[in-house]
Amino acid sequence: MPASPMVKMSNYDTHKFLGLLPLPLVVVFLWMAYDGGFAEIEPLILILVWWLLHTLVITPDIDTLSIPSKRLGPLGWIIRKLSKHRKTWHSPLFWAVYFGLSYNYLGWWTLGGVFPIYCHIYVDIITSWLNRRKIIKLLKKLF
């Protein structure tokens, strides 16, 4: 049964909130790294761009009719047609390969997407585990 748009909006906001939660602390840390001469400004800006991109656009939920998927336009439509919800795009292994390749070919700043992606995946795992527990409790009450 498809979730109502209200539920999807709620999930999106939860993932967005949790993905962005540590960002002020990260900005302070990156500023200290720049100020201390440990890093150039360009990769530090790219980390933040990658972080925001993987919180708002390229998220595991691009495999369902979600706000991030709609933001991808025709690419989001193609991804939805080719994949099932909570399969490949919610696989920690898939994202490990994705970040390994992007780290290797683009640079270390691509690791800025790691936190929002894995936060999303584990929040989904915990949420579905809690929902299953509720179902088990309901079954025990009934029988």
Residue ranges binding Zn ion (CB under 5 A): 60-61, 124
CB of 23 to Zn ion, least distance (A): 20
Give the nearer residue to Zn ion in terms of CB position, either 84 or 137.
Answer: 84
Query: 19 or 60: whose CB is closer to Zn ion?
Result: 60
Cα(95)–Cα(89) distance, integer angstroms: 8
Name the residue among 63, 68, 94 with its Cα closest to residue 16.
Answer: 68
104 versus 131: smaller Cβ distance to Zn ion: 131
Cβ 60 to Zn ion shortest distance, Å: 5
Smallest distance from the beta carbon of 13 to Zn ion, in angstroms?
A: 13
List, as own/partner pairs, every contact residues 123-126 make where C-beta atoms lie below 8 angstroms and the sequence separation is at least 24, other chains included.
123/14, 123/15, 123/18, 124/60, 124/86, 124/90
